[in-house]
Amino acid sequence: MSVDAATVRRIAHLARIAVSEGEVPHLQGELNAMLAFVEQLSEVNVEGVEPMTSVTPMQMKKRQDVVNDGGIADDIVANAPATEGHFFLVPKVVE
Amino acid sequence: MTDLTSLTLAEARKGLAAKTFTSLELTDAHLNAIEAARVLNAFVMETPDRARDMAKTVDEKIAKGEGGPLAGIPLGIKDLFATKGVRTTACSKILGNFVPTYESTITSQLWRDGAVMLGKLNNDEFAMGSANETSCFGPVGNPWRRDGSNTTLVPGGSSGGSASAVAALLCMGATATDTGGSIRQPAAFTATVGIKPTYGRCSRWGIVAFASSLDQAGPIARSVRDSAMLLRSMAGHDPKDTTSVDMPVPDYEAAIGKSVKGIKIGIPKEYRLDGMPAEIEKLWSEGAAWLKAAGAELVEVSLPHTKYALPAYYIVAPAEASSNLARYDGVRYGLREQGRNINELYENTRAEGFGAEVRRRIMIGTYVLSAGYYDAYYLRAQKVRTLIKKDFEDCFAQGVDAILTPATPSAAFGIGEKGGADPVEMYLNDIFTVTVNMAGLPGIAVPAGKDAQGLPLGLQLIGRPFDEETLFSLGEVIEQAAGRFTPARWW
């Protein structure tokens, strides 16, 4: 499989990465090189094989459903580029 | 007094305990070495004041007989580990001036045991690379050069700063991380020892995530014993990482010098690649002969799905990365580029903040997870991963205790020499190491010799899950036979 220019633009939008028209052909070439490389997986017989979900066999650990941390709003917003009090600031989202 | 920076960690521990020198003296010697080696670009942030403060505090503890297992030992920390109050960037512009308000579990355990932080080490952006060329702080120089040449070579990646700093005697050991070979390949390129432990052995909490089902931290050091000492402090259960295992941490150092008599070593025939340099082939046979001479038993094994590990990795790792890196949105931390609306803000921030390699991997990951392609790519790759793991399980079921392979398909190369036209050329660096991440196994790279141009080459040993001890025992045999290698200083 390979991607065309329209697919490159669609993927870029899904990934929320701005791509200029000039970058599209180059990216298309690189993505197609990677897709060509992974194409060899199609020759593997995977019939009846379970997809891996956990590389080490382990029971999913569960925690008590209790509050065990908190009161660190200052820490959480400390590195934000724009804040007001304990809120993150973004451009208007809801009209 | 001999130059304190040339001691191994084990030798320094002895000297500190005997009060031959203090941690402050040891730390100052390393800070001076770092300053004189800035041309290598191994450190992206030096923390001399913090280092001296930590050293003074630990000196007082040593005086009272309260020093921990790493008391007074100066270390470098890969910039992927969150360090409280010290800028942590993953060497990406998108994290900008991010200063964590918390400490990673691994580094907090190192400080608990008395280690001293010298600074933060360079790496490929978000650990995506095999040459340390994708860092937003620029490439790192390898302290090794070809005989009679002035060309600066890459130290490998993604833990290039860690490997370079340890090889150049700028720190006694370093933290590193390994998603497809990022500890073992740079270790091989710089004649240092690097171990990626079993998935789950070390906590991933507080380490910038790349591909969560493959990422695992480990040390880079100058001897097998030093790496065993560091891993003991780094490993252990952490309730904050649900994939970390609740198993006791063995005294890894006790495995050093243990007899390897009767240990069964597999030599996988699929690792004998067409066009592999004769020097690597020779090194591999030599390594096998050393282990045999020490009493190990050699047996040819087959890992039939080896050739599919790298292509499967380049689906699984980018897929997980595209999901993990969705958090860099220009809102909560790091860089922000303005836009007319929230979507433009995201898109502009991520276009400006991520480098070319990271953007490429996010896009591939987004594609293979997108509607209509998930089954063909991602699901198939996860099935192939099951088969890769089964290859190893079959080997171990036949009584094989460890597997010996070359660590890399070549020695270090020049900056800008690879991957310019085709990204896959760079990816092939990890051909021998990536299988180990796909199967969650432990793997160690140990220096074993030099090529005709005088560059170091390493061997890799792969072990059963949670049997790092056997790797240390076998690694020590190789180190004893091959000797240790130090680069001639040119910087």
Q: Is the Cβ–Cβ distance between B476 and B256 less than 8 Å?
A: yes
Q: Is the Cβ–Cβ distance between B192 and B167 less than 8 Å?
A: yes
Tell me whether B64 touches chain A (CB under 8 Å): no
Cβ-Cβ contacts under 8 Å, B355 against chain A: none
pLDDT, position B2: 60
Q: pLDDT per residue over B210-253, tens digit each?
A: 999 999 999 999 999 999 999 999 999 999 999 999 999 999 99
Q: Is the Cβ–Cβ distance between B123 and B91 less than 8 Å?
A: yes
Nearest residue, CB atoms, A18 vs list B351, B385, B438: B351
Does residue B421 have a pLDDT over 80?
Answer: no
Q: pLDDT per residue over B123-157, tens digit each?
A: 999 999 999 999 999 999 999 999 999 999 999 99
User: How many CB pairs (< 8 A) connect A and B?
Assistant: 161
More confident residue, A88 or B424: A88
Q: How far is A39 from chain B (nearest CA, A)?
A: 8
- Which of B28, B133, B25 has the alpha carbon at shortest distance from B357? B133
CA atoms B149, B152, B154, B159: torsion sign: positive
Q: pLDDT per residue over B445-474, tens digit each?
A: 999 999 999 999 999 999 999 999 999 999
Q: pLDDT per residue over B29-60, tens digit each?
A: 999 999 999 999 999 999 999 999 999 999 99
Q: Report d(CA B174, CA B81) in Å as an integer.
A: 11
Does residue B375 have a pLDDT over 50?
Answer: yes
Mean pLDDT of chain A: 93
Q: Report d(CA B153, CA B141) in Å as an integer.
A: 6
Does residue A48 have a pLDDT over 60?
Answer: yes
Using only C-alpha atoms, chain B has a radius of gyration, in whole angstroms, of 21
Question: What are the C-alpha distances in Å from B307 to residues B303, B381, B431, B464?
Answer: 9, 13, 8, 21
Does residue A1 have a pLDDT over 80?
Answer: no
Tell me whether B304 touches chain A (CB under 8 Å): no
The structure tokens 């990271």 sit at B358
Nearest residue, CB atoms, B312 vs list A41, A82, A90: A41
Does residue B303 have a pLDDT over 90?
Answer: yes
Q: Is the Cβ–Cβ distance between B358 and B136 less than 8 Å?
A: no
**Residue B248 CB-density burial (10 A; 0-12 exposed, 13-18 middle, 19+ buried):** exposed
Q: Strand B297-301 and strand A83-84: pairing?
A: unpaired
- Annotated active-site residue B182? The verdict is yes
Sequence-distant (≥ 6) Cβ neighbours of residue B132 within 8 angstroms: B122, B123, B124, B139, B140, B154, B155, B156, B157, B158, B160, B161, B164, B186
Cβ-Cβ contacts under 8 Å, B322 against chain A: 15
pLDDT, position B1: 46
Q: How far is B98 from chain A (nearest CA, A)?
A: 6
Tell me whether A37 touches chain B (CB under 8 Å): yes
The structure tokens 């180059």 sit at A26
According to DSSP, residue A50 is labeled: P
Query: How many other CB atoms sit within 10 Å of the CB of residue B36?
Result: 13
pLDDT, position B422: 79
Phi then psi for residue B461, to 5 deg, are -120, 130
Q: How far is B60 from chain A (nearest CA, A)?
A: 32
Nearest residue, CB atoms, B342 vs list A12, A17, A93: A93
Kindly provide the ipTM of the predicted complex, given to two decimals.
0.96
Query: How many other CB atoms sit within 10 Å of the CB of residue B319?
Result: 25
Inter-chain touch B99–A79, beta carbons under 8 Å: yes
The token pair at B446 is: 């140990």
The A residues from 74 to 93 touching B (CB cutoff 8 Å) are 75, 78-82, 88, 90-93
Could you please report the per-residue DSSP string of B136-187? TT-----S---TT----B---SSSHHHHHHHHTTSSSEEEEEESSSTTHHHH
Q: Is the Cβ–Cβ distance between B487 and B168 less than 8 Å?
A: yes
What is the CA B29 to chain-centroid distance, rounded? 25
Q: pLDDT per residue over B4-19, tens digit each?
A: 999 999 999 999 999 9
- Annotated active-site residue B473? The verdict is no
pLDDT, position A57: 81
In this prediction, residue B425 has a pLDDT band, given cuts at 50, 70 and 90, of confident
Does residue A66 have a pLDDT over 50?
Answer: yes
pLDDT, position A58: 81
Tell me whether A95 touches chain B (CB under 8 Å): no
Mean pLDDT of chain B: 96
Q: Is the pTM of this model over 0.90?
A: yes
Bridge partners (DSSP) of residue B449 are B457
Catalytic residue among B23, B92, B104, B158: B158
Residue of B nearest to A92 (CA): B341
pLDDT, position B431: 93
What SS3 state is found at B244? coil
Q: Report d(CA B312, CA B310) in Å as an integer.
A: 5
Nearest residue, CB atoms, A56 vs list B199, B382, B386: B199
Q: Report d(CA B409, CA B41) in Å as an integer.
A: 25
What SS3 state is found at A79? coil
pLDDT, position B426: 86
Q: pLDDT per residue over B254-267, tens digit each?
A: 999 999 999 999 99
Phi then psi for residue B173, to 5 deg, are -175, 170
Inter-chain touch A16–B350, beta carbons under 8 Å: yes
